[in-house]
Amino acid sequence: MSRDIESLKKVAVNVRQDIIEMITESASGHPGGSLSAVEILTALYFGEMRINPENPKWEDRDRFVLSKGHGAPALYSVLAERGFFDKKELMTLRKIGSMLQGHPNMNETPGIDMSTGSLGQGISAANGMAIAGKIDNKDYRVYALLGDGELEEGEVWEAAMTAAHYKLDNLTAFIDHNGLQIDGPITSVMSPEPVSDKFRAFGWNVIDIDGHNFDEIFKAIDMAKSVKGKPTMIVAKTVKGKGVSFMENNAAWHGTAPNKEQCEKALSEIRGCK
């Protein structure tokens, strides 16, 4: 585990390439919201979380829940890059018999702590893990990642209320705040704004950051670990489709797979970041 920023940037480039290649191969998937979450997931799995790829179910590991389950390609890539399974598996995304389906499956994929896909439910599962940790006097921490469109789900706010009520200071959640969902801008579909103020009103410690800046991500994580008696929500401003010019800030790429020509153009741009 290392917080060397230049090394993490190289990992992020590899992850973005994986995302484009695996979704192109499957001809199905969600590139936009996978690309926007790369730095957050890379920071957690390579620079923060206490995990053991050789023992994915280690009882004292930190837990992670991808509440926005359609961002699975980003998580799969990070897990493979971290050594939980062979990278060759990535090219089986969404294929029959693959352990890498369109949404995470904790029963099939090493390193997945919670099956997700139905939006809004993941943060509730993370609450349960955090409560269990406190009951069992364990010092593991629980992390979760939500989409900003997911905030339109009522269960998210029930979970927000629950986490604050039970003072889950061992829970840190991120919002991938890229401003877009499958039907367009979140403010047009069903605005959850002001996001940060809402979570503060629900009793959370809230930190606003640039979700593509590793220094800001780690600073926020460390601040969250120092807070007692409250869960922390890190509101990460991100760019949907980050790293691929024709995908950036374009809701059309929420759930559209690139063709071969688009794949090569995207990979060329991503490799230029090395």
Any idea what the CATH number is for the domain that residue 124 is in?
3.40.50.970
Give every CB contact of residue 15 below 8 A, 6+ residues apart in sequence.
38, 41, 42, 74, 77, 78, 81
> Considering the chain, what is the average pLDDT of its residues?
97
pLDDT at 108 (0 to 100): 96
- 272 against 9, higher pLDDT: 9
pLDDT at 273 (0 to 100): 66
Note the Cα 40 to chain centre separation in Å.
Answer: 6
User: How many domains does one find in the chain?
Assistant: 1
What are 210-231's pLDDT values in tens digits? Answer: 999 999 999 999 999 999 999 9
104/75 Cα distance (integer angstroms): 9
pTM of the full structure: 0.97
For the record, the structure tokens of 128 come out as: 């349960």
What 6-10 contacts at long range (C-beta under 8 Å, 24+ apart), as own/partner pairs, is 7/46, 8/39, 8/42, 8/43, 8/46, 8/47, 8/214, 9/214, 9/273, 10/274
Range of the domain at 222: 5-271
